[in-house]
Structure 1
Amino acid sequence: MPVAPVVAAGAVVLRRKDGVLEVLLVHRPKYDDWSFPKGKLDRSEHATVAAVREVAEETGLAVRLGRPLDDQLYVVQGGRSKVVHYWVARPLEGDDVSAYVPNREIDQVAWVPVEDAAGRLSYSRDRATLKQAIKRRKRTATLIVLRHGRARARSRWRADDRFRPLLKLGEHQADRLVPLLAAYDVTRLVSSSSTRCVTTLVPYADATGRTVKADDGLSEEDATTLGVADRVQVLIDSGRRTVVCSHRPVLPAIFEVLGLDDPKLEPGEMVVVHHRNGRVVATERHAVR
């Protein structure tokens, strides 16, 4: 029976200091190697969440994720395969690592000019990932398009459909969304005014002290193609890190504005759209279970 690969996640964290582009590297004394902060996923942990957590644990910095990078695939000791998911990332608040306390896992953390980093990195796969990250270094804005969590069946709901609630599974999905949205540092929450959409975003709003803006124009009952297009264009033009939660029948109009094919999201699924100057440069599809 095939053995499942080891799954890990990490980030290529960049900053510009005095006009010089630098990358954050860590040294592992066990292997005497220099690499990017990364680590294995905890049980049931999403890769995006793991990437942010590992950076925090190995460097002391809080980061937000930007564009995704190609996965690394290689074989580790014992012949088992390993996949590492990577993103470009940037520090959220501060980027000073001088207070980091060395330990047996990571004994050095350093900002290194990217021109010197290739010579510092121990593995060719990391040098290839760095090269890709440099090409994708320009800042992007993030728009997350989310389908609400699993809701009570329409056939079993006798009241106004606008008030149809989430199932327990949907509430669980809403809770699981909190660290995933936080990985992208979402700052604006926009939702259909229907209960099942608003309550999908409430846990993240509560965790971050933000509010959910409920909009009738994103509901099944009141959405129009032109109205949705206008709303989404405003969100794109603002450049803010935004999540917009809506319904299966409304989502195709949202994706059309973005110039994307409708991916036919399941409840609790989302597409992370990275855009720059009004142009989509990368997308990711994620789900919470």
Structure 2
Amino acid sequence: MTATAIYAAGAVCWRVVDGRMMVLVIHRTVHGDVTIPKGKVDPGETLPQTAVREIKEETGLTVALGVPLGVSNYPLSGNRTKIVHYWAAEVSDDAVRHSTFVPNGEVAALEWVTIKKARSYLTFTSDVEILDAFAELVDGGVTRTFSLVVLRHAKAMARSDWKKSDATRPLTERGVQQASTIVDTISAWHPKRITTSTATRCVTTVTPLSAASGIELKRTDNLSQDLFEEGKADIRSVIGKRVRSRKTAVICSHGPVLGDILREIALATGTPTGAYISDAASLEPGAFSVVHLSSTNPSSGIIAIETHSPRV
């Protein structure tokens, strides 16, 4: 992020009503325009956090993020630029029933419309371009998705400074901070499972997320660096289970193991491998890549991958 830019985030919220794809537009009170839900990043927030929070504040809807749809850039006064990141976000019937929205000083009304009608409603061309990116997902039949969040453990004590078993090597103070700060960002995708290497540094990394979400950790040696270096890690079985379940999951492991984890996701979904696998696996401690897959047909391949770095 730069000092000359204002960052924001939002999402194309969608649901199927009577067999028809509908998207949500908001009628803003003060500006008198029609837009996609979005808003500015608060201090200390990440972009995924902002998207979920802004949707909740503007529409009263609780959503989980789906596939990234792109970035809009447009100039502001004072030689500044506004940069807005967007995702798709399915809205469940339960979320609609529990919406807390009432007309207010910022948003006068919410309206569910077809994609075609939304194109004619939206005030800004940049919003239409994001809507078109979503329409491509709809046309491709990959709207409903789940994610595999591949996480490298947070910053750990150096091997040379730890005289006991490497599997018991702990996080540094910075690593503990990283483990805490990634919770809200990963939570933007509403994970349902957390699978981790049995190494202390991995378990400690995802323990705050487990505590915040109430999801019990699933520990497995098949994601451990020790078994990987011995050539005995059965990564394929771990990934196969996660793909078959079609539920968003966090997979926490070690730097040397990440490349094989990403390759197994590609193989399990019929996706050609390439340099993008190495890019997604080249994570600093505490960073993660979110791999988006079709819920209805995972074998259609990886839809998108996005990578996020820790804030500390």
Instruction: Report the TM-score, using the length of structure 1 for normalisation.
Output: 0.95
Match of 1:254 among 261, 265, 273: 261
Letter matched to residue 244 of structure 2: D
Q: Which residue of 2 aligns with 1:283?
A: 305
Are the counterparts in 1 of residues 223 and 233 from structure 2 also a CA contact under 8 Å? Answer: no
Please list every run of at least 4 consecutive aligned residues from structure 1 whose deviation after the TM superposition is greater than 6 angstroms.
none
Gaps of 5+ in 1: none
In the alignment, the residues of structure 1 paired with residue 227 and residue 171 of structure 2 have an alpha-carbon distance, to the nearest angstrom, of 20
Q: Deviations over 1:85-126 (max 9, x none)?
A: 000001253224875222211121221222211111111111
Which residue identity is paired with 2:303?
A: V
Equivalent position of 1:21 in the other structure: 21
How many Å separate the matches in 2 of 1:78 and 1:97? 41
Please state whether the residue corresponding to 1:112 is helix, strand or coil: strand
Provide the residue aligned with 2:284 in structure 1: 266
- State percent identity of aligned pairs: 38
Q: Which residue of the partner structure matches residue 109 of structure 1?
A: 110
* Counterpart pick for 1:168 among 173, 182, 196: 173
Give the whole-Å Cα distance in 2 for the aligned partners of 1:60 and 1:86.
Answer: 18
1-side partners of 2:11 and 2:20: how far apart? 19
Which of 235, 252, 267 matches 1:245? 252
3-state SS of paired residue (1:158): coil
Q: 2:270 maps to what in 1?
A: none
8 Å Cα contact 2:70/2:85 also seen in 1? yes
After TM superposition, give the deviation of residue 46 of structure 1 in Å: 0.5
How many residues end up aligned between the 2 structures? Answer: 288
1:11 aligns with 2:11: yes
Question: 2: CA distance between counterparts of 1:114 and 1:96?
Answer: 22
1:159-180 deviation per Cα after TM superposition (whole angstroms, max 9, x unaligned): 1111111112111111111111
- Residue identity opposite 1:243 in structure 2: V
Q: Cα deviation per residue 1:139-164 (whole Å; 9 max; x = unaligned)?
A: 12211111000111111111111111
Measure, in 2, the Cα distance between the counterparts of 1:188 and 1:6: 34
Corresponding residue number in structure 2 for 1:56: 56
Deviates more, 1:150-159 or 1:53-62: 150-159
Contact 2:192–2:248 (Cα < 8 Å) also in 1: yes
Question: What is the distance in 1 between the residues matched to 2:187 and 2:98?
Answer: 22
Alignment partners' CA distance in 1, 2:18 and 2:12: 19
Gaps of 5+ in 2: 267-272
Question: Does the Cα contact within 8 Å between 2:221 and 2:233 map onto a contact in 1?
Answer: no
**Amino acid across the alignment from 1:284:** E
- Name the CA distance, whole Å, in 1 between partners of 2:169 and 2:159: 8
Counterpart in 2 of 1:151? 156
Tell me if structure 1 keeps the 8 A contact 2:4–2:79: no
Classify 1:49/1:225 alpha carbon distance in 2 versus 1 (closer, same or farther; 3 Å).
farther
Matched, 1:134 2:161: no
